[in-house]
Amino acid sequence: MQQLQALIRAVPDFPSPGIVFRDITPLLADAGGFARCIALLAEPWRDAQVRTVCAIESRGFIFGAALATALGAGFVPLRKPGKLPPPVVAVDYELEYGHDRLEARADAFRSGERVLIVDDVLATGGTLCAARSLVAKLGAQVVGASVLIELAALPGRARWGDGAPLHALLAY
Residues annotated as catalytic are 59, 96
The reply to whether 59 sits near ligand AMP by the rule CB under 6 A is yes
- What are the angstrom distances between the C-alpha of 112 and each of 30, 79, 107? 37, 21, 13
The reply to whether 124 sits near ligand AMP by the rule CB under 6 A is yes
In the bound complex, what is the minimum distance in angstroms from residue 72's beta carbon to ligand AMP?
25
In the bound complex, what is the minimum distance in angstroms from residue 59's beta carbon to ligand AMP?
5
Q: How many residues bind ligand AMP (CB under 6 A)?
A: 17
Residue 148's nearest CA partner among 118, 117, 120 is: 120
| Beta carbons of 62 and 123 less than 8 angstroms apart | no
In the bound complex, what is the minimum distance in angstroms from residue 165's beta carbon to ligand AMP?
17
The reply to whether 132 sits near ligand AMP by the rule CB under 6 A is no
Sequence-distant (6+) residues with CB within 8 A of 103 are 78, 79, 80, 81, 83, 84, 88, 89, 90, 134
In the bound complex, what is the minimum distance in angstroms from residue 93's beta carbon to ligand AMP?
8
Binding mask 7-36 for ligand AMP (x = CB under 6 A): ------------xxxx--------------
Give dist(CA 12, CA 19) in Å, integer: 6
Chosen residue from 53, 121, 138, 143 binding ligand AMP by CB under 6 A? 121
The reply to whether 64 sits near ligand AMP by the rule CB under 6 A is no
The reply to whether 120 sits near ligand AMP by the rule CB under 6 A is yes
Give dist(CA 122, CA 32) in Å, integer: 24
Chosen residue from 135, 156, 160, 170 binding ligand AMP by CB under 6 A? 156
The reply to whether 118 sits near ligand AMP by the rule CB under 6 A is no
List interacting residues with ligand AMP (CB under 6 A).
19-22, 56, 59, 119-128, 156
